[in-house]
Structure 1
Amino acid sequence: MMKQCGSDFLIKAVQDFESSSDHQSETDVITQTKTQVKQPKLYAVIMHNDNYTTMDFVVYVLVEIFEHNIDKAYQLMMQIHESGQAVVALLPYDLAEMKVDEVTALAEQESYPLLTTIEPA
């Protein structure tokens, strides 16, 4: 009878061990979750042509504020001049708004009426 009592204890101990949360058997399934970061919605920053802002100033703004290289800045400036406007950047709203504010402040400082707007892309 003692043996049976001891084996019952052993069986119970094994069952408890196997059901404990700290133990993983070979048949346990491990679940991994991938987190996907949702990309922010992009907005078009549009620069508009006017009859007063110099082409050199527009190129300067495109290089300094929007970080275009000189060739791309010149190409965009010509598109603005010939078409009346051009998309100069696609950015999340907060960043687009910050860039527009920078352009506006710099243009006002130089007494240019350069207009830059934001639209959903």
Structure 2
Amino acid sequence: MKLCNTPRFFFKKKLRLLSNDQFKYVYERNFRIHVKSFIILRCINNLNYPRLGMSIAKKNIIRSHDRNRIKRLIRESFRLIQHNLLLMDFIIIVKKNTHLLKNNSILFFLQNIWRFNSKKNFKYK
């Protein structure tokens, strides 16, 4: 039996923003980062782990399979880098026509977002 030395990263329920109150709390803090295809809202959550919420309007991306593809990419990118992120709540709002981008482009924008919010790049004052 071969043991794997690589860490296993999960996207458990505790890492998700689920309730209306959790989303409302982040929306009220109103710290926004605008990227070409996304708006990122974030605030400190006083927990020992970051959490993720997503908002993809049907008005912006009409087809459900396009919305689901983008959600899968967002979840996967978050899952892989969650241990390097600041202890914050993040909401990613997807802008119009993001579904026209290829997966590599979407992942590139997401990696830049997470790099900006990583522990390594955060400077304490």
Same-fold status (TM-score > 0.5): no
TM-score by length of 2: 0.27
Report the structure number with the largest CA radius of gyration: 1
TM-score by length of 1: 0.27
Higher helix share: 1
Higher relative CO (Cα under 8 Å, sequence separation at least 6) belongs to 1
